Each structure stands twice: as C-alpha cells, then as structure tokens.
Amino acid sequence: MSEIHLPESISPLIGRLQLVELSWFGIPIQIPKFAVYAVIPNPVFDDIIVRKGRSIGLLKMGRYTVPVLDPFQGDVKKEPKFAVIVSLIRHEHFGLFAYPADCVKYDVDIPAKHSSVNSLVSDFL
C-alpha cells in the first residue's frame, strides 16, 4: 500500500490523526476531522430528490446546495439527528456533501503511524 504524505508545512505538527466518528443505523464511520466542514444538528431538508433510484435530502446553505447521502447507498427520506457536512477538493474544484448521522463523536484520534490512517485520509487528500 502506498504511503500518504501530509503537506510538509503541517506534518511535523501531527502526531495523531483527529477523527469525527458518526454513527448511522448503529454503524460507525470515521472521517478525518480536517475534511469535516460542519456538523448540523436537527437539519431540515429544503427538498428531497431521487437520483439513480435513491432518495437524497438537500440542504440549501447560502450559495451551496448540499446533498445528504446515505453512506450505505440507501435512501434518505427524512431528516436525521445530524448532518455531517464533508468538504472535498478534486482537481481544483471544491464541493460539499453530507452524511446523515444518529450520533456524532468529536474526540476520536489515532496515532498518525496507525495502519488505517492511509485508508482514512486517502479519499480526502
């Protein structure tokens, strides 16, 4: 497995990877804290759309419309307790999406040299 290198400006500061752990239907999902844009308690959908046979809730936030996507490819038809908004940058393009959550933990971390760090951060770097 190839190694993920953090930018040189921050790598000396990092001894542990901070995570946000959300739970959806009792299944925990860990996201690097640097990729979490916001956590919205008691979100209210502005609309629900169907794409590729899946119901997706939409949150309108200023100039952004943020889709709330079930991480397990299911439907999101009603508001969850939390919406964990994740930011992505791909080829100089910025985007936001959210995962629904029943519970959110903010104080999870693992050593930066832990074997799972590569798989946890690879989608967000």
Residue 4 lies in a domain: no
- Per-chain mean pLDDT for the chain: 86
Q: Is the pLDDT of residue 90 over 90?
A: no
Residue 6 banded pLDDT, cuts 50, 70, 90:
low
Runs of H (alpha helix) within the chain: 117-121
List pLDDT tens digits, range 102-123.
Answer: 999 998 888 777 777 777 777 7
The two structure tokens encoding residue 61 = 């936030």
CB 29 within 8 A of CB 115: no
Full residue range of the structural domain in which residue 49 is found: 11-121
How many structural domains does the chain have? 1
Residue 5 lies in a domain: no
What is the per-residue pLDDT for 36? 94
The two structure tokens encoding residue 87 = 């930011």
Please give the residue that has the higher pLDDT: either 79 or 89: 79
Residue 38: strand pairing partners: 85
Residue 2 lies in a domain: no
Q: Is the pLDDT of residue 11 over 90?
A: no
